[in-house]
Structure 1
Amino acid sequence: MRAEDGCLLRIFAGEGDKHEGRPLYEWIVAQAQERQLSGATVYRGLMGFGAHTRVIHTFKIERLAEDLPIVIELIDTRDKLNGLLTFLEQHTTSGLLATLQPIEIRMIQGRPK
């Protein structure tokens, strides 16, 4: 197993955030795929709040969802992720929070059958 240096970019958004009528998280993942990043995953949070509001958004049975938090995780090199961040800054109107941290990437290959 060979290890490589990489970065993990996490983008925090709201489920109700849009880009030209499309869910923002879908648009971001499409942009990442277009740039051939190594991987992207979107998580829907059960509870959270952000800089734009002090209301805690939560998942409850009586109200199925009200702008729940979304976390988009993207993995690749720092340069490619910085390029995506620059693009997002130029093309989004939603305020986003992003974190970038160095990681070690390991590809685990299965054994041949």
Structure 2
Amino acid sequence: MSDADGAIRLTIHLDGAVLWHHRPAYVELVHRAHYEGLAGASVFHGFTGFGAQRRIYRERPAHLAARGPCAVVLVDEEERLRCFLLSVQDVLEHAEAVAVLDRVRIHRSGARAVG
């Protein structure tokens, strides 16, 4: 993906405690993104948050990996992320996740990407 391409950010919000075939759903999403060759994926765990069920999560940092709100963030070309969204519907429906697509500008500082 070059700087001139129209970049899109896909943010998937879900409960970090949701499992997909005995592992966290967010881990499954990252593995599928890697398998599909997307530019990258990051998972961010929150300290406090709430979702569709209106339950407020308040966790200590040591427990963040086990439960609480998290977001999987991916940035790539729009077509690739839309295809990815379709391919992970099984996980998203199981996790009652919310996916948000928004346009972003890529700003690189420091080292250049290799490839």
Same fold (TM over 0.5): yes
**Matching residue of 2:54:** 54
Equivalent pair of 1:32/1:84 in contact (CA under 8 Å): yes
| 1:20 aligned onto 2:21 | yes
Q: Provide the TM-score with structure 2 as the length reference.
A: 0.82
Query: How large is the RMSD of aligned CA atoms in angstroms?
Result: 2.3
CA distance in 1, matches of 2:60, 2:96: 26
Q: Is 1:46–1:59's contact at 8 Å kept on the other side of the alignment?
A: yes
- 1:98: which partner in 2? 99
Instruction: State how far apart, in whole Å, the 2-side matches of 1:2 and 1:96 are.
Output: 30
Name the structure with the higher helix share: 2
When the two structures are aligned, how many residues end up with a matched partner? 108
Corresponding position of 1:88: 88
Q: Would you say the 8 A contact 2:49–2:58 is kept in 1? A: yes
Identity of aligned residues (%): 26
Equivalence for 1:5: 6
1:2 Cα deviation (Å)?
4.5
Q: Could you tell me which amino acid in structure 1 is paired with residue 59 of structure 2?
A: F
Contact 2:5 2:77 in 1 (8 A): no
- Give CA deviations for 1:33-68 in whole Å, capped at 9, x if unaligned: 0011011110000101110x222101248x945731
Q: Distance in 2 between matches of 1:13 and 1:101?
A: 17
